[in-house]
Each structure stands twice: as C-alpha cells, then as structure tokens.
Amino acid sequence: MVSLTPEQKKLFEDKNFAFVATVNKDGSPQVTATWVDTDGKNVLVNVATSRQKFRNISKDPRVAVALVDQKNPYEEIIIRGKVISMEKGRVADDHIDKMSKKYTGQDKYGSRRPGEQRVLLTIEPSKIVMW
C-alpha cells in the first residue's frame, strides 16, 4: 500500500472533481465524474446503489481515480487501487450531506431520488502518480 502525501490529501479535501474508472462486465472501462473525499489515507467516493459504478465495483473492486486541481489544471493526481469497504446507512447518508456542503454549499444533498440508497466507498491506493 502507498500513502497520500499532505499535498495530495489537500487536493482531495479541496473542491476538486475526480473521474472514477471502473470495469464493466464485458471488460470495457466505465468512467464517471464525481465528488471525492479522503480520510487522510484512502480515497472516499459516495455512490447510489442504482448506478453502474456501484454494480461494477460489486463485481470487481479495481478502480482508477484521476483528479485535476481546479486552480491549476496542470496539476493532477492519478490513483490506481481497489475498494476495500462499502458502508451503507447513516454513515453514507451523512457523508453525502458533507459532500453536498463542500461542493454546493447546501447542508443536505438535494438530488436524492425517492428510495435511493447511498454507499460510501473506501478506495485503498496501490499506486499514486502526480504531476
């Protein structure tokens, strides 16, 4: 396992979007822009169980995450790793509200569909490249 440097952690803590790549059932890549976070060691991504990203990760935990600093688009970080935990319930619901506050300024996530269930993914980096 590799560790995020303080500079890399800051990029995940700031209001930067990330692109998360997963593997489809047929082996083709699937990429989605998403809100992103860190616990200081791992990358955190919150998804709905109805999304393709969640279905892919449930079958194959390998992912890649690319993040570009919105203040300096020539600074980027690319992480390869795997999902090591998926938390549902209150933990995931509280986290999506935290992400809503970070990215939109809203205290509560306002785009939730009726019956939508959220999952907090913890991604453990195995390789980190930064420019």
Residue 109 is predicted with a pLDDT of 87
Mean pLDDT value across residues 99-110: 91
Q: Which H/E stretch holds residue 50?
A: none
> Domains of the chain: which residue ranges?
6-130
Q: Considering just the CA atoms, what is the radius of gyration of the chain in Å?
A: 14
Per the DSSP assignment, residues forming a β-bridge with 125 are 81
Q: At 83, is the pLDDT very low, low, confident or very high (cuts 50, 70, 90)?
A: very high
CA 86 to chain centre: 12
Which is nearest to 23 in space by CA: 57, 50, 65, 67?
A: 57
pLDDT over 80 (residue 65):
yes
pLDDT over 80 (residue 2):
yes
Mean pLDDT value across residues 102-130: 90
Residue 114 is predicted with a pLDDT of 79
First to last CA, the chain: 20
DSSP state of 117: -
Distance CA 128, CA 37 (A): 16
CATH of domain 6-130: 2.30.110.10
pLDDT over 80 (residue 61):
yes
Distance CA 87, CA 37 (A): 15
What's the pLDDT tens digit per position in 4-58?
999 999 999 999 999 999 999 999 999 999 999 999 999 999 999 999 999 999 9
What's the pLDDT tens digit per position in 117-131?
999 999 999 999 998
CA 66 to chain centre: 10
Is 67:12 a contact under the CB 8 Å cutoff? yes
